[in-house]
A = this chain, B = another copy of it.
Amino acid sequence: VPINYLNISADAKKQRDKKIKELLEKRKLLQKGLDENSIEMFIREISLMDSNNYTNKCGVGEREGRIVCDLVRRRHFNFAHGIGRSGDISEIQPKATGSSLLNQLTNALCLDLIKMMGVRSAEKCIIFPMATGMTLTLALLTLKSKRFDANLVLWSRIDQKSCFKCILTANLVPIIIDTIKNDNDELHTNVEEFEKQIEIFGAGQILCIISTTSCFAPRGCDDIEALSKLSKKYDIPHLVNNAYGLQSTYFTHQIEQAQREGNIDFVVQSTDKNLLVPVGGCILFGFNQELINDVAKMYAGRGSSSSTLDVLMTLLHLGRDGYMKLVHERKEMFQYLKENLEKLAYQHDEKVIVNKRNPISMAMTLKSFNKNKVTMIGSMLFTRGISGARVVSTLENKTIDGYTFNQWGSHISNENNVPYITVAASIGITKNEIDDFIEKFDKVLLKVKNNES
């Protein structure tokens, strides 16, 4: 092969290698995403650093990263050793330098993403190979190991099960503080009640405050600034459940602001909802390295590297530009959904409730429908291929491990509650999906009305 042809190829290679070197040195998101080929090459190169992939591997232990099924081996790009060591999910594995590098790099890129999205003072970020709920539990157990006498968790009510479960799983006692409704039917945090409860029980009895950002309208983002101030004032830890809030700069700015004015210990969010990867991981970040490391040290055993790998490949694929594009498109789609839903609501004599503190989800009242039949609307939508729309009838009372929530789904027990449906424009949603939803929703409402009359 003539030398001048080879030179051009070598140039192309050099450009690639330069990007990878930059990535490994700076550990920051690339501005532009990499092509699939480059990503795969890089992943394979790292995986070759793990001992199970050495040509002359020789294992006389009980855990040697052997994979017996080829389909399995390939889908993990030959990664077998997971991440972390027995006592610490972020520790280096001698047998698996590639997996360790994968883990460190991904956590670093994730931290860079968090900063880019607006939480500029974030200090440390770790991806946990568990559900967000379980990671919250682990964070609670970590706090508990330090505040052994505190058993109570102050929790701003949000009618979503796993967020509540995580308190019970840690064998702690929740104090549920209902939201309050304003004149526009928006639901906000009852900050006064928080302070009241702190005074009733005493700060020493309270393990922590849990607040929530992203949620189903008409509930909005908790007043985390106020709660952060309480946290600081009374020296009570503060956990923020930012479930799918990383995709929106509104929530991230709330977090940044709250930390500046008060105190936040931990912020958790799911990898799948924010980064468009399969369910499986949770991003935990905070403003104090040691605190985050403490949680890492509570994870007993090695963890799956699967979510970490998904996140790394996704971040390399998107780059800064790719993620910001998704963020902007989502914002536009929210407006588009709002406008179309308002038109529809007007036709059906209903009202769209947009909470100023909720840039992702919106609700539409269903007050002109029979409360007893309103859930049928939800199942009719589902059988027509619409997923994710939730109908709240206000008639359901739900009991979770002995705690009863009246008017489950409403985030507040209030005789004025009306039935409604809630929908979200979350990251990755397309115009087609919104059009499809509006069209089918219209038909379903008409059909239900006709049946009722």
- CB nearest neighbor in B for A50: B9
Residues 387-401 of A, flagged 1 when their CB comes within 8 A of B and 0 if not, give: 111100000000010
User: A64: shortest Cβ distance to chain B, in Å?
Assistant: 6
A233 in contact (CB, < 8 A): no
* Residues B160 and A86 in contact, CB atoms below 8 Å apart: yes
Residues of B near A429 (CB, < 8 A) are 59-60, 64
A419 in contact (CB, < 8 A): no
User: A294: shortest Cβ distance to chain B, in Å?
Assistant: 11
Bound complex: CA of A279 vs CA of B299, how far in Å? 14
Please count how many residues in chain A sit with their CB below 8 Å of the partner chain's CB atoms.
143
Residues of B near A305 (CB, < 8 A) are 278-280
With A161-B87, A162-B86 in contact, do A386 and B58 touch (Cβ < 8 Å)?
Answer: yes
Question: Interface on A for B, CB 8 Å cutoff?
Answer: 1-2, 4-6, 8-9, 12-13, 15-16, 35-41, 44-45, 47-51, 53-72, 75-83, 85-87, 92, 94-95, 97-98, 100-101, 104, 129-134, 136-138, 141, 144-145, 148, 160-163, 165-166, 168-171, 214, 216, 243-244, 270, 272-273, 275-281, 298-307, 310, 313-314, 317-318, 326, 337, 360-361, 382-383, 385-390, 400, 423-429, 432-434, 436-437, 440
26 A–B contacts, CB within 8 A, in A order: A13-B49, A40-B71, A41-B44, A54-B385, A60-B433, A62-B243, A64-B387, A64-B388, A67-B276, A68-B276, A68-B318, A69-B314, A72-B277, A72-B314, A80-B279, A81-B278, A82-B278, A86-B161, A131-B300, A131-B301, A141-B170, A145-B168, A148-B171, A169-B299, A278-B305, A279-B305
